Amino acid sequence: MDALQKALDQLDQATAAVRLAVQDLANAPAGAEAAGNAAHALSGGAIDPFVFRFAIFVLAIFVGYYVVWS
């Protein structure tokens, strides 16, 4: 019975995490665009916003791999 309660608690936590991720995803495109434009402006045009966003994408892949397979 204790294992079942623990599994249900973990399911509730996972559901809350998915809800939060969906909310963040709704706000992510505007935030990524602003961050890319800021990096482009601060570097004097040396960093292309596409490169900045691509780097974020690659880092997200590694973080996701670590979270799933750890």
Q: pLDDT digit string (tens) for 21-30?
A: 656 656 666 6
Q: pLDDT digit string (tens) for 4-22?
A: 888 888 777 777 766 666 5
Determine the pLDDT at residue 6: 83
What gap in Å lies between CA 61 and CA 69, rounded to an integer? 12
Q: Which burial class, exposed, middle or buried, applies to 36 when counting CB atoms under 10 A from its CB (0-12, 13-18, 19+)?
A: buried
CB-based contacts of 32: which residues, under 8 Å, 6+ apart?
53, 56
Q: For residue 15, which amino acid is it?
A: T
pTM here is 0.41
What value, to the nearest 5°, has the Cα angle with vertex 69 and ends 63 and 70? 85
